[in-house]
Chains A and B, each alone.
Chain A
Amino acid sequence: MSNSKVANSGKDATSAYNVEAVRAQFPIFEREIDGQPLHYLDNAATAQTPRAVLDAVAVHDSRHRANVMRSIHHLAEEATEAFEAARGQVAQFLNATSPTEIVFTSGTTGAINLVAHAFGGTLQPGDEVVISQVEHHSNIVPWQMVRDRIGITLRVLSASADGAVDLAALQAIVTPRTKLIAVTHGSNVSGAMTNVAPIVAAARAVGAKVLLDGAQRAPHGPIDVQALGVDFYGFSSHKTFGPNGVGVLWGRSEVLDALPPFMGGGEMIRTVTLDETIYAEPPHRFEAGTPPIAQAVGLGAALAWLCAQDLTGAARHEQRLTGRLIDGLDDIDNNRGLIRLIGPRELDNRLPVVSFAIEGLHPHDICQLLDGHGVALRGGHHCAQPLMDFFGLTGTTRASVALYNNDGDVDAFLNGLDDVIKLLKP
Chain B
Amino acid sequence: MTKLPTWADVVLVPVISLLLAAFFAAIVLLAIGQSPTQALTVMVNGALGSAYGWGYTLYYATSFVFTGLAVIIAFHGGLFNIGGEGQAMLGGLGVALVCLYLPMPHWSLTLLLAMGAAMIFGGAWAAVPAYLQAKRGSHIVITTIMFNYIAAALMIYILVNILRPDGSMDPASARFSDAVGLPKFHDIPILQDLFLKYDAEGALKLGKDGLPSYQRVPANVTFFIALAACVGVWRLLWHTKLGYEIRAFGKQEKAANYAGISSFKIIMVAMILSGAFSGLMAINNVMGQAERLLQNSAEGAGFIGIAVALMGRNHPLGVLLAAILFGFLYQGGASLGLETTIPIELRTVLQGLVILFTGALDIMVRMMLGWFFSPRHAQAKGAA
Q: Do they bind each other?
A: no
